Structure 1
Amino acid sequence: MKKHILYILSFLIIGFAGCKAKTTINQDEAGEVITDYLKANPEYKTTRFNFGEIKFNNTNDMFELGKYKSLATKGLVTLSLKEAKKKFLSKDSSFVYQITLTDKASPLVLKQDNDRATVKTVTYVLSDEKPVDFEQVNSSTAKVTVSLKMVTTDFEPFDKDASKNSNFITKTYKLKLDKEEGWKVQK
């Protein structure tokens, strides 16, 4: 009888120990949690992009027109010349283009108005070269620091704040243990 009670008690203790949630996390698991989070909530940089009917006058505007023509060759916009006033040997020539976004640009367009759009210029992805650095604060929280490398989009030349001091950013995320879902990034 005592032997049966001992077996039942040991079975219950092992059963409760097996049901206990995993409270430790390692470097690989932290990297997977951050990768899943970045797939659902990507990190990116945006800028405002003008389209519609745009007039190009001087040499500075011609540089801007070159950016639009580059997008047109990649199929992200269509350009159609509406009006051209070319003055012989003069810098006062002007061109009016109708610029429209194509379906190919839709993954990079976040918000669109009548003649302006918010577009992604840079996206950040988890760097493979630099390892995930994490510190487990306590049994249910951890701080994870990762290196995110910069991947430019075709709209990057339109970024007015294009000061690039590095081609990566370092970001720290706080992870919290959820009893049902496991480790999650805390917002």
Structure 2
Amino acid sequence: MKKFTIYILSVIVIGFAGCKTKTTINQEEAGSVIIDYLKANPEYKTTHFKFGEIKFSSKSDKADLVKYKALAGKGLVSLTLKEANKKFLSSDSSFVYQITLTEQASPLVLKQDNDKATVKVVQYVLSDEKPVDFSQVNSSTAKVTVSLKKVNTDFAPFDKDAGENSNFITKTYKLKLSKDEGWKVQN
């Protein structure tokens, strides 16, 4: 009877020990949780991009026309000259172009209206150089701070707020331990 009781107690203790979920997280695990989260929910910066029928002045809009021609060279837009008003002996002529987004631009276009679109100008990816900093708040939550490096897209020249003060951002995510799914980023 004594052996049977010891056997039952040891099965119960082993059963409870086996059911205990892992409540600690290390730097490598925190990094992989953030990588998985960023694959599903990428970080990016956007701007409004005008297209359709646009008039360019050869003097004042020359820089903008160069930006559009660069996109056309990469196959993201198509430019069709509709009208050219060249003024005799004047340096200020005007050109009207029909600008159309191509299929190649679709991964960078988030929202599209008749004459403007919301496009990604910067994408942020996890930096390889700076390690993941984390602190475990308690047994089921942790705070993770990562460095995300800035990767400009082809639409970056159209960003009006292109302050190049740094080429990375730091972001803090809160991780929560779920019994079913393990460590996940809490929104």
Give me the TM-score of the superposition, normalised by structure 1: 0.97
**Where does 1:22-33 land on structure 2 (aligned, <5 Å)?**
22-33=22-33
Corresponding position of 1:99: 99
**Where does 1:37-48 land on structure 2 (aligned, <5 Å)?**
37-48=37-48
Uncovered stretches (5+) of structure 1, i.e. residues with no partner: none
**Where does 1:139-158 land on structure 2 (aligned, <5 Å)?**
139-158=139-158
Task: Classify the secondary structure of the residue corresponding to 1:59.
Answer: coil
Paired with 2:60 and 2:175, the residues of 1 have a C-alpha distance of: 48
Q: In the alignment, is the contact (CA less than 8 A) between 2:58 and 2:95 conserved in 1?
A: no
Corresponding position of 2:184: 184
Provide the aligned C-alpha RMSD in A: 0.9
Deviation at 1:137, TM superposition (A): 0.5
Uncovered stretches (5+) of structure 2, i.e. residues with no partner: none
The count of residues paired between Structure 1 and Structure 2 equals 187
Paired with 1:87 and 1:110, the residues of 2 have a C-alpha distance of: 39
**Where does 1:53-92 land on structure 2 (aligned, <5 Å)?**
53-92=53-92
Paired with 2:59 and 2:105, the residues of 1 have a C-alpha distance of: 27
Paired with 1:88 and 1:8, the residues of 2 have a C-alpha distance of: 102
**1:48-86 CA distances to partner (integer Å, 9 max, x unpaired)?**
000000000142311100000000010000000000111
Could you tell me which amino acid in structure 2 is paired with residue 5 of structure 1? T
| Percent of aligned positions that are identical | 79
Moved over 6 A (4+): none
